[in-house]
Amino acid sequence: MHRHFNGLKTAALFGAIWAILLGLGAVIGSGRFIWLFALFGVGMTVYGYWNSDKIAIKAMHAYPVSEAQAPEMYRIVRELSTKAGEPMPRLFVSPTEAPNAFATGRNPSHSAVCCTEGILSLLNERELRGVLGHELMHVYNRDILTSSVAAAVAGVITSVAQMLMWFGMFGGFGGGGGDDNRPNPLAMLAMALLAPVAATVIQMAISRTREYDADEDGAKLTGDPLALASALRKLESGTARAPLAPQPAVVNASHMMIANPFRAKDVSRLFSTHPPMDERIARLEAMASGHQPY
């Protein structure tokens, strides 16, 4: 479906983040815990993936809406999901003026799409169609699984690094068989300091590649790249006027949203969950003019 390399980039980034996790296992106890760390990562991934819809919906205080309550959303989502040949997700609305939208759920048959009250009042129907096409492609491309894996593994890496800081330097991970079996303290300190930063950077890079894919695939689904481009322009100014408070639950769900919901100042591009809006808009405009996104 794609001629660009976002899928390859995502696979390479996943390889890097798992290498960091297994590297921690290799440093601690001279590699004896490497499979334990891998199993722990898988377990956390399954938990986050299975409960992703509940976590995100609860974080945004969203409520389910009927077709009578949100006829425009229902009409657009029904049309696009039928066109894609996929199940129609449940629809929710979040009672906040911050304009945004997100999709969640463990698979297309157990998915949900949520719009905030702010985005429903900000966009016209054509722009809202572009946004909902983007969100549906997150579901149909299984991006919720992708983001769940990345978030879970990054969380495990951070937790293990914190254990290293507290216990590793005091012999807490000693092998019990003499100094030869004890982990290298310099290697442990380096991993404790650098691994969480590296894991976070990689997690954010994965999120950005999935946004590019959802932009392109959503524009193909709607057949209207400029509608999404116009919506993104409005969202950029709208989220600047009404940013969400960076509460922990909202921060954990922010990577699912179509636009960064927080203030953009003082945030490095390396640690951003979303690509720059001007780059996303430029790609969509290139699609509309018949050029392949780079």
**Rounded CA separation 168/182 (Å):** 10
Residue with tokens 């997690």: 203
Give me the active site residues, please: 135
Asked whether the beta carbons of 214 and 134 are under 8 A apart, the reply is yes
Beta bridge partners, 93, equal 63, 115
Tokens of 211: 């946004």
Residue with tokens 């996104």: 293
Q: Which residues contact 142 (CB under 8 A, 6 or more apart)?
A: 107
* CA dist 108 → 7, 40, 62, 104, 282 (Å): 19, 26, 19, 9, 29
3-state secondary structure of 260: coil
Cα torsion 40, 42, 45, 47 to 10°: value is: -70
**Rounded CA separation 156/81 (Å):** 35
Eight-state DSSP code of residue 257: B
Handedness of CA 118, 124, 130, 133 (dihedral sign): positive
Ramachandran region, residue 262 (left: φ > 0; alpha: ψ -120 to 50; beta: rest): beta
